[in-house]
Structure 1
Amino acid sequence: MHPPAPDAPILFFDSGLGGLTVLGPTRALLPTAPIVYAADYAGLPYGQKSEAELAARVPALLGRLFERYQPRLAVIACNTASTIALAHVRAALDLPIVGTVPAIKPAAELTKSGVIGVLGTEATVRQPYVDDLSARFASGKTVLRHGSPGLVTGAEAKLRGEAIDPAIIARAVAGLRDQPGGDAMDVIVLACTHFPLLEQELQAAVGPEVRLIDGAAGIARRIAHLTAGQAWPAAASPGIAVFTRSEDRPPPPLAALAPYGIGTIETI
């Protein structure tokens, strides 16, 4: 394979705006990397879709994005899409693909009580992949799971500058705490890239004795490793955000995306 051109972008893909939490630390490591951020607003929320639907939708959409933007690497910055469709995407596209998986391994290393919470979408928390991660890295620990579609809605609202319903946060925390052993939980894995956008609200609800962790920094390091030695532009340029067209969900204002280095919004 020929080395990518300096202006070949990194493509970040998510159902919505959650993947910005992965884009942020990647920008910190690769400040001049060209960026295309793609959000499937026509398909949001992914957490309530079937495995078969996502296994077909995600590779097809990423194929369109690959043809249009010719990225050097694609990041599925979405836990739900990664746990369901990552293998399908890798089989369909001839470029490096980085997925996003729940940070159960570091959570198991951090817990002192032996009780870990996994907070994700409904689709993510029911996946056998999560069973496998728990068996491999959290053997002997109690792993509690809860799917919270409301947190995705809340995170999207917060980034748009809208008010967040406190009941959404309370229900998500109660979904873990009310399970047997939940009172002893001392680490919560934020297993959806949307959820770190609500870290402040979630931390206030669980208290300082509970640690919240996610995998964004590790994903950023993986991207930097896979692109090591490649040529980049001499200076940063504004990234592109592309949204699938939705009748009832317009793209967010550019001001909400500008802090992440986005300068243009497109729709497909």
Structure 2
Amino acid sequence: MADDRPILFFDSGVGGLSVLAPTRALLPSAPLVYAADSAGFPYGTRSEDEIAARVPALLGRLAERYRPRLIVIACNTASTIALAHVRAALDVPIVGTVPAIKPAAAVSQSRVIGVLGTRATVRQPYVDDLTARFAADCTVLRHGSADLVELAEAKLRGAAPDPARFRAVLDGLFEQPGGERIDVIVNACTHFPLVATELAAAAPHPVTFVDGGPGIARRIAHLTQEMDWPAQASPGIAVFTATPDPALAPALAGYGLTRLETL
């Protein structure tokens, strides 16, 4: 009998879909559950202590309900703050999400990299550590934006993008000293790849955007390579900690998530 335990993706909102999508491409028959802490959204403006307490508690409830074979914290803020707490609390393999500074340094020609994330993510010591380990010869400029998270959420609800708001976010990087030399930007929030087209159009010059989604998908595939999967995919589940917004249903269906539930 095939193992029908799902892979569970967790984020504060819909950003983790940028990790779910490349995973689904690699593992098309894997059962998937996507969990959004919509009642706690957004994480980028919450305190570290609050996130460190909230995320393990929620994932404990989700693990009890859905019995996942693997949990993916598809949120940079939650991963940089709560990953160790979650691993200590749950007896389930956990994959985290960290800013893609290593691949950014590998492709940068100017050696000036931008890191675009939430305010909570860009101030974490983990970003300092990644920079020291993988981009020591680069200038790494950071900017935290809550507005970009809201723009990504609005796009999935069908709202028309406002180019001026994307330009304003990128100004936070490019107007820093040396910012005019940025040639690679790390999308250090899983929401941001969802608006990659809008960001590229708003940049003052051509820039390469990188994110961790494809690498995380490959990691998930590697960790589950010996596992059995159903012969065909079952309907994916999207579960929210607040009442689901019906406006999200069409976008979620595009990711294979056709059942909406509330935790």
Classify the TM-score, shorter chain: over 0.9
Q: Pick the aligned partner of 2:120 from 119, 123, 126.
A: 123
Q: 1:181 corresponds to which residue?
A: 178
Asked if structure 1 preserves the Cα contact closer than 8 Å seen for 2:69 and 2:93, the reply is yes
Q: Equivalences for 1:64-143 in 2 at 5 Å? A: 64-143=61-140
Q: 2:40 corresponds to which residue?
A: 43
TM-score by length of 2: 0.97
Residues 116-125 or 162-171, more deviating: 162-171
Give the Cα separation in 2 of the matches to 1:228 and 1:84.
Answer: 28
Give the unaligned 5+ runs of structure 1.
Answer: none
Give the Cα separation in 2 of the matches to 1:71 and 1:214.
Answer: 25
Q: Does 1:171 align with 2:168?
A: yes
Asked if structure 2 preserves the Cα contact closer than 8 Å seen for 1:63 and 1:93, the reply is yes
Q: 1:254 corresponds to which residue?
A: 249
Q: Does 1:148 align with 2:136?
A: no
Q: RMSD of aligned C-alpha atoms?
A: 1.3
Give the Cα separation in 2 of the matches to 1:80 and 1:217.
Answer: 18
Give the Cα separation in 1 of the matches to 2:236 and 2:39.
Answer: 21
TM-score by length of 1: 0.95
Give the Cα separation in 2 of the matches to 1:226 and 1:61.
Answer: 23
Asked if structure 1 preserves the Cα contact closer than 8 Å seen for 2:200 and 2:206, the reply is no
AA aligned to 1:80 is T
Q: Secondary structure at the match of 1:43?
A: coil
Give the Cα separation in 1 of the matches to 2:239 and 2:246.
Answer: 9
Q: Pick the aligned partner of 2:227 from 211, 227, 230.
A: 230
Give the unaligned 5+ runs of structure 2.
Answer: none
Q: Secondary structure at the match of 1:145?
A: strand
How far is the alpha carbon of 1:209 from its aligned partner? 2.6
**Identical-residue share of aligned pairs (%):** 70
Q: Secondary structure at the match of 1:253?
A: helix
Q: 1:29 corresponds to which residue?
A: 26
AA aligned to 2:190 is T
